[in-house]
């Protein structure tokens, strides 16, 4: 059964999905999200890379997402237990979109699915700017 529209609007954002596992997110809903993501990126992508953190709910949710992606005809590359940086690396190396399942520190049941569009220049430039800003800040603080 699909969640109410209010839940969908509350948990789905531009680049991520955040919700309480068991209340707002379950495998069926996450599979639907995976299918929608595949339809969104499927025009130029042939595969999606998927990773997850060590939370107990992450492997099953990432598998449900993969099922939704594959139901739309795209292949899935599972990198398993990984960091977000590893997902970015795999996405860039394979030149494909990706999804990372990881949690937030509080509350413990809050699960986050972060998506990475294929060849996202704006996001890459934003990450470079953030990294450069941190580097300049460190140099000033140390020098």
Nearest of 44, 16, 42 to residue 30 by alpha carbon: 16
52-103 confidence digits (pLDDT tens): 999 989 999 999 999 999 999 999 999 999 999 999 999 999 999 999 998 8
For the chain, what is the domain count?
Answer: 1
- 65: domain range? 5-142
CATH number at residue 104: 3.40.120.10
pTM of the model: 0.77
Nearest of 106, 66, 98, 62 to residue 81 by alpha carbon: 62
């Amino acid at each position: 059964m699909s969640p109410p529209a209010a839940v969908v609007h509350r948990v789905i954002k531009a680049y991520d999905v955040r919700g309480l596992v068991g209340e707002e997110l379950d495998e069926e809903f996450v599979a639907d999200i995976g299918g929608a993501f595949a339809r969104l990126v499927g025009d130029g992508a042939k595969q999606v890379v998927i990773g997850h953190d060590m939370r107990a709910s992450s492997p099953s949710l990432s598998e449900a997402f993969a099922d939704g992606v594959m139901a739309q005809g795209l292949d899935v590359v599972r990198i398993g237990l990984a960091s977000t940086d590893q997902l970015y690396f795999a996405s860039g190396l394979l030149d494909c979109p990706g999804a990372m399942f990881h949690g937030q520190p509080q509350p413990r049941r809050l699960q986050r699915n972060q998506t990475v569009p294929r060849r996202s220049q704006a996001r890459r430039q934003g990450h470079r700017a953030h990294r450069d800003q941190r580097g300049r800040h460190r140099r000033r603080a140390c020098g």
